[in-house]
Structure 1
Amino acid sequence: MFLGKVIGSVWATQKETGMENLKLMMVQPIDTKECESGQVVIAADRIGAGVGERVIVSRGTPARILFGQGNAPIDAVIVGIVDSFEVAE
């Protein structure tokens, strides 16, 4: 999993089977100081995250399992909206 910030949405009228009615968001990975820390990821979103929100993203097989279809072409999913976090110095 990683921490990220939603920076945009992706609209696609044609999608593979298993992705129908699925909201896709662009997420910028961030570090604990909220600085960019990797390439932007397109993540499925079923919990209603919005642009500007910090989120927790799960990747790989765990993301696909959440949708109950072993063959769904999903590599990343937003699993939480972060209210706050604390890091010991």
Structure 2
Amino acid sequence: MIIGEVIGNVWATRKEDTLNGLKLMVVRRVDAGVPGPQESFVAVDCVGAGIGERVLVVTGSSARKALHNQESPVDATIVGIIDEVEVR
């Protein structure tokens, strides 16, 4: 899983049919051990996350499994909204 922060939305009027009705969000990876900005990527949101929220993201086949559609061309899915992170 990846910890990230939602930093934006993606709107696409033309897309693959299995993506219709899915909310696409721009997520910036958060890594407590690495200072400075990290990579950003697009993830499907299945939990109702909003801009500014920290989220849990799964990638690969787990991302498609979270959507219950193995045929969808999805590589990242937001599966949780983080309330608190504790790092020691």
Q: Same fold (TM over 0.5)?
A: yes
Counterpart in the other structure of 2:16: 16
Contact 2:9-2:24 at 8 Å conserved across structures: yes
Give the TM-score, by structure 1 length: 0.89
- More displaced, 9-18 or 26-35? 26-35
User: What are the residue-to-residue correspondences of 1:58-69 with 2, within 5 Å?
Assistant: 58-69=58-69
Cα distance in 1 for partners of 2:50, 2:35 equals 19
C-alpha change, 1:9 and 1:36, in structure 2 (3 Å) is farther
Counterpart in the other structure of 1:38: 38
Counterpart in the other structure of 1:50: 50
Q: In the TM superposition, what whole-angstrom CA distance separates every residue of 1:18-38 from its partner, at most 9, and x where no partner exists?
A: 111000000000112685563
Task: Give the structure with the larger helix fraction.
Answer: 2
In structure 2, stretches of 5+ residues that fail to align are none
Contact 1:31-1:37 at 8 Å conserved across structures: no
Counterpart in the other structure of 1:76: 76
SS of the residue 1:69 aligns to: coil
Cα distance in 2 for partners of 1:18, 1:72 equals 6
Runs of 4+ in 1 over 2 A off after TM superposition: 32-38
Q: Alignment identity in percent? A: 45
In structure 1, stretches of 5+ residues that fail to align are none
